[in-house]
């Protein structure tokens, strides 16, 4: 089943498409340009997209640390940082750097895991998991913080068992999982999607 059919994906896709309309969009901490982004979403971006990562072997626009980005203050009116903050030893320093490069009124899309297995040891480590309260505190400088769960506790638990998950990995199965996750008011979630406005 395609990522696009996961029940939380439409809102995520809408957020990416909204960012694509910004004059300058910086994708921070990516492995490659448009890494993991479906072609249908990628098509919305143009020359306004800049990819920043640590390794220069993937056709990035910039090789830099998230702690010291090569941009002046107020440079970008759109920022995305997908599944990066759990790998950072100094997330507050990174949040400050994102805030610094964002233009006034700029928007950011951040995703981070909450219930996800340990990963990323080859790329520098796996240091943190975030609650919604922790994310509000981390990004407290921003004028607006909107946090949405991506896959609740039922979704996560089912994903731990790949054979069983495949049985539900279709539109009907995802509707059922969404209903079950809603019953718990998303008290647990696999990932958080954070929309920020400076």
In a domain, 163, yes or no: no
For residue 92, count other CB atoms closer than 10 A to its CB.
Answer: 12
**121-140 pLDDT, tens per residue?**
766 789 999 999 999 999 99
Residue predicted with more confidence, 150 or 70:
70
Q: From CA 194, how far away is CA 198, in angstroms rounded?
A: 13
- Asked whether residue 103 carries a pLDDT value surpassing 50, the answer given is yes
- What pLDDT shows up at residue 56? 66
Residue 83 lies in a domain: yes
| pLDDT over 50 (residue 1) | no
Residue 182 domain-assigned (yes or no): no
- Give a yes or no: residue 171 inside a domain: no
Q: Tell me how far apart the alpha carbons of residues 76 and 92 are, in angstroms, rounded to a whole number.
A: 19
Task: Give the number of domains in the chain.
Answer: 1
DSSP output for 125-191: -------HHHHHHHTTTSSEEEEEEEEEHHHHHHHTSHHHHHHH-SHHHHHHHHHHHHHTTTSSEEE
pLDDT score at 4:
63
- pLDDT value of position 111: 96
> Is residue 186 within 8 Å of residue 152, measured between CB atoms?
yes
Q: Which domain holds residue 102?
A: 8-153+189-197
- Percent of the chain at pLDDT above 90? 61
Asked if residue 3 belongs to a domain, the reply is no
45 in a structural domain: yes
Identify the residue with better confidence: 74 or 176.
Answer: 74
- Reference 153, options 192, 105, 190; nearest CA is 190
CATH number at residue 18: 3.40.50.150
List the 189-197 sheet strands across, edge first.
62-63, 49-53, 25-28, 76-82, 102-113, 189-197, 144-152
> In this structure, is residue 65 part of a structural domain?
yes
Q: How far is it, in rounded angstroms, from Cα 43 to Cα 64?
A: 25
Q: Is residue 177 part of a domain?
A: no
């Amino acid at each position: 089943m395609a990522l696009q059919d996961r029940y939380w994906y439409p809102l995520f896709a809408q957020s990416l498409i909204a960012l694509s309309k910004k004059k300058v969009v910086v994708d921070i901490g990516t492995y490659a340009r448009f890494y993991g982004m479906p072609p249908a979403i990628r098509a919305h971006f143009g020359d306004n997209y800049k990819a920043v990562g640590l390794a220069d072997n993937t056709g990035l626009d910039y090789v830099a640390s998230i702690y010291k980005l090569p941009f002046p203050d107020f440079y970008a009116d759109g920022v995305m940082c997908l599944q990066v903050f759990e790998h950072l030893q100094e997330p507050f320093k990174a949040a400050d750097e994102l805030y610094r490069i964002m233009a006034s009124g700029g928007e950011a899309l951040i995703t981070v895991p909450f219930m996800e297995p340990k990963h990323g040891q080859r790329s520098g480590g796996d240091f943190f998991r975030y609650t919604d309260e922790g994310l509000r505190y981390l990004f407290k400088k921003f004028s607006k913080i909107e946090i949405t769960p991506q896959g609740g506790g039922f979704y996560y638990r089912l994903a731990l068992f790949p054979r069983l998950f495949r049985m539900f990995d279709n539109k009907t199965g995802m509707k059922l999982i969404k209903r079950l996750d809603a019953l718990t008011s998303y008290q647990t979630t696999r990932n958080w999607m954070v929309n920020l406005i400076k």
